[in-house]
Amino acid sequence: MSRSTPVDLGFQRHTLDNGLRVVLHRDPRLPLVTVNVWYHVGSKNEQPGRTGFAHLFEHMLFQGSEHVGTNDHFRLVQQVGGVANGSTWYDRTNYYETLPSHHLELGLWLEADRMGYLLPALTQQNLDTQRDVVMNERRQRIENMPYGMAGERLHELLYPPGHPYRWPVIGYMDDIAAATLEEVRTFFRTYYTPNNAVLSVVGDIDPDDAIVQVERWFGEIPAGPPKPPVVIPTAPLGGEQREVRPDDVRLPRIYLGFRGPAYGRRAWYAADLLTATLSGGKSSRLFQDLVYNRQIAQDVGAYISPYEAGATFMVVATARPGVAAEVLEQALIEHLDRAAGELPAPADLERARNRMLTEHFTALQKLETRADVFSQLTTYFDDPGGINREIEQYMDLDGRELRDFAAEFLVAGNRASLLFVPRESHP
Amino acid sequence: MTAMRPDRTVPPAPGRARAFHFPPFLRHTLANGLEVLAARLDDVPLVSLELVTPGGGLYDPRGKEGLAALTAGVIDEGTRRRNALEIATFVERLGGSFGAGIDWDEGYLATGLLAEHLPAGLELIAEVATEPTFPEEEIERLRKQRLTEIVRRRQDPGLLAEDRLAAVLYEGTVYDHPLHGHPETVAALTRDDLVAFYRACYTLHGSRLIAVGDLDPEAILREAEARFSSLPPGPPPRPEINPEPLPGLQVYVVDRPGGAQTELRLGHVGVPRTDPDYIPMIVLNTLVGGKFTSRINLNLRERHAYTYGASTRLSPRLGPGPFVVDVAVATASTGAAAVETLGELRRIREELVEPHELEETVSYVRGVFPYTFQGASDLARRLETLAVYGLPNDYYERYLERLPAITREELLTVAQRRIHPDHMAVVAVGPAEALVPQLETLGPVTVLPVPG
């Protein structure tokens, strides 16, 4: 079949003297600009007993800096019609402001102020408030949510003590409560340096003007020392991990987790393409068999996350009432065994590739996604141009590579199974 | 590169603003009653197509709650030409998606796919809209799935709170039920019910074909003419929704012992999307609870740290959708959070807002408008709003002009007319033992179990 022509996104890249890497992309479709900063620090850089720090710190970055008042970050952005947010993940923390394009310098000023001039605004009172806010965030998103503990427990089963993907990004409640102001300051000095950051400016800009403005606001922020290395234990999982968890739910749900290849490796893309053959759409294999034909699942999905030190591959299914969790677990395992033993059907592969293409174009419509992809590829691989090439990875893969991925990774010895079951049936 | 040392003590001055104009679009009602809205957006090779019909929850007959939802669920599970799997495969093999669903005001059939596959998308939408067969076995399969969905919903404290709030505010009207229905009504729906609903609500008059993307709008017009004319004319008569206001504050606690937190909602009946007060209500809602720096979020989150976030929302509907305050709070702070929230709602109708608050809010609501136009589905949603609520083509330009004309005095008048802090339902889902003592000072408390 014919293929729609890929969109070729042009960009400029620069590195300031202080080590800040800058990507500039002109996208004049709308009078908007997004200022997007990635710091190469996430929960992976924390220590056991001191978890949740990277995320708590993200909250502190919205509490003002030397020249920006406590609640002024959002106020200044919103009053010109902008939006702002941030997020923390295992490997990175990101921040953005999307603004009417003539307010580009407002975004640069805000990001530069908190990169270079944060410490005077870090107060005990702000920390106390944000600790409570984050504890409520943890309650809302994890503890009070059906199956909300799944991600946390699955990672604890998959990764041994000391492994930096073992603990949850939001942190454990006791650790959040114990965070001190001095630790917050040290964290800032260690990780929030221009040489540990990437700035992408995407939108209705003139890149030649924008780099002058970037240099003006960020150029005089001093570089920091190199950050401490993260040690990733390399020992394999070494045997199946399994937990049955009675919980306050009415429908059993199965989570199968596997340690996977690092994001960026060819096997990672094979895994991602495999998830698109297995799930996504009513004609996918897992949906057809488990939801449509056998009607033992209410929903089913397969996913792989882009972690830089080894991804987690996950299959999740919710059981219909009256279906034992173990029955559904076994059915999922059989599908994965088949993926390891047989080539995917050509029709499944075609559907998965086309789906990737559609998703790629859909994602590129959004300014903030373009900026995030530029920052992500620069942060992990120093390769912003990957935005134009990543989709080709999926088109090049053949069925054998999907099968080989499954045969190597989706095996019992590399698997953690977490079964949520209604509490009353397991007293 | 050398640069002047910047003055960091004040925000930098803006450059020159570039104007935003609503993208051009075609809007035409065919002789047979079907309305067509189409716009070309060719930055990426995608198209988004949607047939929007009157088949929403608004038309659920009493005793058959969930009928609109089940009809939409089964409509794409079989046509005269294709079975359920063939329908799914037809678009998915091309990398596209196809789905049917409802909200209160509409039923929709929607597909998104690569532009080169536009003919396939049109063919499938037309086939599913005009030739569905509602096979018995698919109805049974979907019925089981929907009944399971109701069970799943009852695990979720936020959704439990939403359902209870609707039941209290809209008792006796069609808005009192969840869109997916009640277990007993879903269990009793028959194939005849689905076919009758389909015939009544999937009609030419009252329906719109919306197409946005890398396409030719004129060609869409011709396709629309050719493909949908076999639908019945319609439209169905629209039911009136006039719920009685609550006589005072009423408190409901849904007991969830051991819950780690409490889901709290405060709400009352709001204004229809077409009401002239809707635009000032957008500003009022944004100022009180619709943005991070809103009064309620700054109070509950940044001042008191009761919550990760508190917000208010309007619900745009043909009838009067609810005005709701939405917050998940530490259980021990629930009473205090409710008191602070009610205090903010009273204050907004007692005092003029500060001039800077009005200015900042209007500037935000106007300024953020272009942000909501990224991509085909964003534009399609705007066109859908024009069509479903019968708004004129220049509505959004007038909206952007209307916003800065809103005064503090007008907001106060609208608040006094439309915000009713002394006639709200307060719903808390969490441990009753801890919640009742905190909430009984507000008004009579009814404790309910999580539905079975």
In the predicted structure, residue B322 carries a pLDDT above the cut 90: yes
CB contact under 8 A, A102 and B14: yes
- Answer yes or no: is pLDDT of A3 > 70: no
B30: DSSP letter: -
B226–chain A nearest CA distance, Å: 27
Considering only CA atoms, which of B440, B13, B384, B24 is closest in space to residue B217?
A: B24
> Mean pLDDT across the stretch A263-283?
95
**Tens-digit pLDDT profile for residues B165-213:** 999 999 999 999 999 999 999 999 999 999 999 999 999 999 999 999 9
| CATH number of A12-218, picked from 1.10.760.10, 1.10.645.10, 3.30.830.10, 3.40.50.300 | 3.30.830.10
Digit-coded pLDDT (tens) for A80-105: 999 999 999 999 999 999 999 999 99
- Residue A8 is predicted with a pLDDT of 85
Tens digits of per-residue pLDDT, A203-232? 999 999 999 999 999 999 999 999 999 999
Q: What is the ipTM of this complex?
A: 0.91
pLDDT tens sequence across A318-333: 999 999 999 999 999 9
B240 DSSP assignment: P
Runs of H (alpha helix) within A167-301: 173-178, 181-191, 207-218, 266-278, 285-286
Question: Based on C-alpha coordinates, what's the Rg of chain A?
Answer: 23
**Domains of chain B in sequence order:** 26-227 (3.30.830.10), 250-449 (3.30.830.10)
- Residue B452 banded pLDDT, cuts 50, 70, 90: confident
Q: What does the pLDDT look like over B12-50, one tens digit per residue?
A: 999 999 988 889 999 999 999 999 999 999 888 999 999
Angle at B328 between CA B327 and CA B331, to 5 degrees: 125
Is the predicted pLDDT of residue A2 greater than 50, yes or no? Answer: no
Q: Over chain B, what is the mean pLDDT?
A: 95
Q: Do A12-218 and A241-425 show the same overall fold?
A: yes
Answer whether B228's CB lies under 8 Å from B126's CB. Answer: yes
The verdict on a CB contact (< 8 Å) between B328 and A136 is yes
Reported as a single tens digit per residue, the pLDDT across B284-307 is: 999 999 998 999 999 999 899 999
Which amino acid, A400?
A: R
State the amino acid at position B28 in one-letter form: H
Q: How many CB pairs under 8 A join A and B?
A: 231
What average pLDDT score do residues B414-428 get? 97
A249–B367 C-beta distance less than 8 A: no
Nearest chain A Cα distance for residue B75, angstroms = 14
CA dist B142 and A375 (Å) reads 43
Q: Give per-residue pLDDT as tens, B91-134.
A: 999 889 999 999 999 999 999 999 999 999 999 999 999 999 99
Kindly list the domain boundaries of chain A, sorted by start residue: 12-218, 241-425
How far does the CA of residue B311 sit from the closest CA of chain A (Å)?
A: 14
**pLDDT value at residue A425:** 57
DSSP state of B333: G
Q: Are B277 and B418 in contact (CB under 8 A)?
A: yes
Q: In a mutagenesis test of the A interface, which of B292, B304, B372, B378 is the best target, namely the one with the most A β-carbons within 10 Å?
A: B292
Q: What whole-number distance in Å separates Cα of residue B76 and Cα of residue B54? A: 17
CATH topology assigned to domain A241-425 = Cytochrome Bc1 Complex; Chain A, domain 1 (3.30.830)
pLDDT band at B374 (very low <50, low <70, confident <90, very high): confident
Strand partners, A26: A203
Q: How confident is the model at residue A234 (pLDDT cuts 50, 70, 90)?
A: confident
Res B2 pLDDT > 80: no
Q: What mean pLDDT do residues A5-29 have?
A: 92
Mean pLDDT of B394-421: 96
| Per-residue pLDDT, A4 | 52
How high is the mean pLDDT of chain A?
A: 94
